[in-house]
Structure 1
Amino acid sequence: MFETFDDIRADIAARLGQAAADRKSPLHTLVVATADADARVMVLRAFDADAWTLRFHTDVRSPKCHVIGAGSPVGVLGYDRDAKVQLRLRGRGRIETDTPLVQQAWEESNNYARRCYLGDGPGALSDAPTSGLPDWAEGIQPTDEQVMPARENFAILLVELDSLDWFHLAHDGHVRAQFVRDGSSWAARWVAP
């Protein structure tokens, strides 16, 4: 049982760190909602525990990039079924396309992942079922040279968290805690589930 706010905040940070590093973590794929009430599942690529920032990869042509832009509210939801812990996170999102962090994320990706940014942009209409990839890129790992044009479509979504809601479901009584960023510290409170 988590009895202090420090324990719970440490639990949140540990879960997010694990989720970014482990594809099998139940929080590796999170629901990300934008200010236009649109939501989608995204892969958590990194968590900076010092800055409380989440990093996701995205296509700059995606509608969410226009909604978020240089700064917009973003909600993030995850649930660890085995631990019975739900995280509801809120913060300010921003899209970056041409920063050292974006270049680093691009370089850390393999060519299978990079090829996703080669084809039609997200939401492009098609007369038939499609991956959106060019025909020549289907089922192969392209070369570095072949994926180079995809770089202009690659972006990252950074979400700097300013609100954390931790909810633990338990047979003997649910427990819920909330945290709100206050400068460099966090104000915490217990709330009824």
Structure 2
Amino acid sequence: MFDNLDTVREDMTYRLIRAGKDRKTPMHVPTVVTADVDARVMVLREFDPQAFTLRFHTDTRAPKVATIDADPRMAVLFYDQPEKVQIRVKGRGKILRDAPVTQAAWDASNNFARRCYLGDGPGSASDTPTSGLPPEFEGVEPTDEQVIAGRPNFSVLLIELDEIDWFYLAHTGHIRAQFTRDGDDWAGRWVSP
């Protein structure tokens, strides 16, 4: 099944592309880790198989943004439990606040998604349980005009991959492969699980 590195790379690429498009796949919500060893689950919006980048959306006011700006090293963990495939990646993140990809992502979002950027910044303290949303937007979709105020808080987190570790758990014997970026190419090797 997975007996050559090309097959593994095709599988890995397929899974990451699908993860960015299909919200029902387990890899759609991986664990993202910043250089300060803080982890969180995020929604993968897109995997670019030519550039080998992952695209996520984030609030510019989130503490992780300052961490990434100061130290771009990142890791992401994907796991598909039913198919027993784990993909771990390492790379460099950058926060894109005003890039064309950021505006395109904002434009492609609906107003329910955009309203998340209207409320309090992530991590803001509260005396009561809160969504952070202004009360007028709790359970209500704002208008196009109302969401404009949230655009400065919206940014894209783009992670350029440098290392990939693909791991298949099998009762007949686990299989593991690693890939490392070498310029525009990738060098692969088998490693012991």
SS in 2 for 1:142: coil
SS in 1 for 2:64: helix
Name the residue aligned to 1:57: 57
- Name the SS of the counterpart of 1:2 in structure 2: coil
Query: For residue 189 of structure 1, what is the amino acid of its counterpart?
Result: R
Counterpart in the other structure of 1:116: 116
Which consecutive unaligned segments of at least 5 residues does structure 1 have? none
| Mapped contact 1:27–1:80 kept (Cα < 8 A) | yes
Q: Within 1, Cα distance between the matches of 2:78 and 2:21?
A: 15
Hey, what does 2:41 align to over in structure 1? 41
Q: Tell me the TM-score normalized by structure 2.
A: 0.98
1:151 maps to what in 2?
151
**Deviation of residue 4 (structure 1)?**
1.0
Deviations 1:81-112 (A, max 9, x none): 11100000110100000011100000000000
Q: Distance in 2 between matches of 1:12 and 1:50?
A: 13
Partner of 1:95: 95
Q: Is the 8 A contact 1:71 1:94 kept in 2?
A: no
2:138 corresponds to which residue?
138
| One-letter identity of the residue aligned with 2:23 | R
- SS for the counterpart of 2:26 is coil
Contact 2:35–2:71, Cα closer than 8 Å, also in 1: no
* CA deviation vs aligned residue, 1:15-38 (integer Å, no higher than 9, x gap): 011011100011000100000000
Quick one: which amino acid aligns to residue 12 of structure 1?
A: M
**Root-mean-square deviation (Å):** 0.9
CA deviations 1:113-135 (Å, max 9, x no partner) are 00000000000000000000000
1:79, CA displacement in angstroms?
0.5
Structure-2 separation of matches of 1:149 and 1:69: 23
Aligned residues: 193
Report how far residue 152 of structure 1 moved. 0.5
Distance 1:5 1:190 in 2: 8
1:8-87 alignment, distance < 5 Å: 8-69=8-69, 72-87=72-87
The answer on 1:128 being equivalent to 2:136 is no
Please give the alpha-carbon distance, in whole angstroms, between the structure 1 residues aligned to 2:50 and 2:92: 16
Alpha-carbon distance between aligned partners in 2 of 1:45 and 1:143, rounded to the nearest angstrom: 23
- After the TM superposition, which segments of 4 or more aligned residues of structure 1 sit over 4 Å from their partners? none
Q: Report what 1:168 is aligned to.
A: 168
2-structure distance, mates of 1:45, 1:79:
16
Q: Which residue of 2 aligns with 1:179?
A: 179
CA distance in structure 2 between the partners assigned to 1:51 and 1:29 by the alignment: 21
- Single out whichever of 96-105 and 71-80 deviates more from structure 2: 71-80
Using the size of structure 1 for normalisation, the TM-score is 0.98
